[in-house]
């Protein structure tokens, strides 16, 4: 598979050390050193393929490590912490991602027999699996379109379906299948996740969320924690803190203004939870990051 990886590295060589658009819908890439604060983020559902170097992703209390021998799938939006590393030879980190579209997955499933099986008792909506030559081939066809942009409207969706199909065939296929099936527990939890993300600054009533997705409160708590490695309240708190950090860094909000904007009634509680999450008080953390960005 090294020959396939080398071709992919060449195709993605012009990626920058930030999210780099490819011109292909839902496909992005990144290369080099990524600032820590950018890797602590609210991630969209995705398939992430590392071409060089390695990455560690932490969601809740669960940490996963992956490299060019593996790929990462996150089937629902999750707040996570990330760390990227260069290769053992010192070459810069390089990766490509496909943002998942549940509608495209559902359309693909309608053309397929029941595909993919649950991986033992695994129920988290994020995991790592061994990469396959067939998956790398599909990615190569997709990235070659960057050199032929006029072909993208006609061919990109077919290559996207092939990437999804290869993942559906693997040990994490159930994640894609379940997120596209409206009556699955994973899809119901995803509905609740979307509700929290849209209204993260509002008070959270778990009972209302559970009723909204037609689950008992106990079943909702159990499935939510299983899928996200977080409770609903922990999920909301992390989304609030990540958005507050963006307000402090990018928009110049004061600590008090950022706290109130994301839903905290007490700036003292906000500062305490922020420091626990990011290791420093919010004002000091923002000053550090802004200073590093100016270097």
Q: What is the mean pLDDT of the chain?
A: 93
Same domain, 106 and 204: no
- Examine the fold and report which residue of 127, 153, 179 is the final residue of a domain before the chain moves on: 179
CATH number at residue 255: 1.10.10.60
Residue 71 confidence (pLDDT) above 50: yes
pLDDT digits over 123-165, tens only?
A: 689 999 999 999 999 999 999 999 999 999 999 999 999 999 9
Same domain, 200 and 159: no
CATH number at residue 9: 2.60.120.280
Structural domain span for residue 267: 182-295
Predicted pLDDT at 116: 47
Same domain, 200 and 272: yes
- Examine the fold and report which residue of 129, 153, 179 is the final residue of a domain before the chain moves on: 179
Same domain, 105 and 231: no
Residue 98 to residue 160: CA distance in whole angstroms? 8
Site of tokens 């070659």:
144
Same domain, 155 and 216: no
Residue 40 confidence (pLDDT) above 50: yes
**pTM value surpassing 0.85:** yes
pLDDT digits over 268-287, tens only?
A: 999 999 999 999 999 999 99
pLDDT digits over 212-251, tens only?
A: 999 999 999 999 999 999 999 999 999 999 999 999 999 9
Same domain, 125 and 242: no
């Amino acid at each position: 598979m090294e020959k396939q990886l080398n071709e992919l590295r060449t195709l993605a060589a012009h990626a920058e050390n930030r999210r780099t658009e490819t011109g292909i819908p839902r496909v992005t890439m990144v290369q080099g050193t990524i600032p820590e604060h950018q890797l602590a983020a609210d991630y969209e559902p995705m398939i992430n393929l590392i071409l060089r170097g390695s990455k560690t992703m932490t969601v809740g209390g669960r940490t996963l490590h992956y490299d060019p021998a593996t790929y990462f799938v996150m089937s629902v939006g999750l707040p996570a912490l990330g760390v990227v590393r260069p290769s053992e030879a010192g070459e810069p980190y390089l990766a490509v991602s496909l943002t998942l579209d549940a509608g495209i997955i559902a359309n693909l499933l309608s053309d397929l027999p029941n595909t993919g099986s649950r991986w033992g008792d695994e129920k988290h909506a994020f995991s790592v699996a061994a990469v396959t030559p067939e998956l790398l081939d599909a990615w190569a066809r997709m990235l070659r379109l960057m050199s032929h942009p006029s072909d993208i409207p006609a061919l990109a969706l077919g290559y996207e379906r092939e990437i999804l199909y290869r993942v559906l065939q693997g040990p994490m296929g159930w994640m894609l299948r379940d997120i596209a099936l409206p009556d699955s527990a994973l899809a119901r939890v995803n509905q609740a996740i979307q509700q929290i993300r849209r209204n993260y600054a509002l008070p959270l009533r778990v009972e209302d969320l559970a009723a909204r997705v037609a689950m008992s409160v106990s079943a909702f708590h159990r499935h939510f924690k299983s899928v996200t490695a977080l409770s609903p309240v922990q999920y909301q708190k992390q989304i609030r803190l990540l958005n507050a950090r963006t307000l402090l860094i990018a928009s110049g909000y004061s600590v008090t203004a950022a706290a109130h904007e994301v839903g905290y009634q007490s700036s003292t509680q906000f500062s305490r939870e922020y420091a626990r999450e990011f290791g420093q008080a919010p004002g000091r953390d923002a000053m550090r990051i802004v200073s590093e960005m100016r270097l």
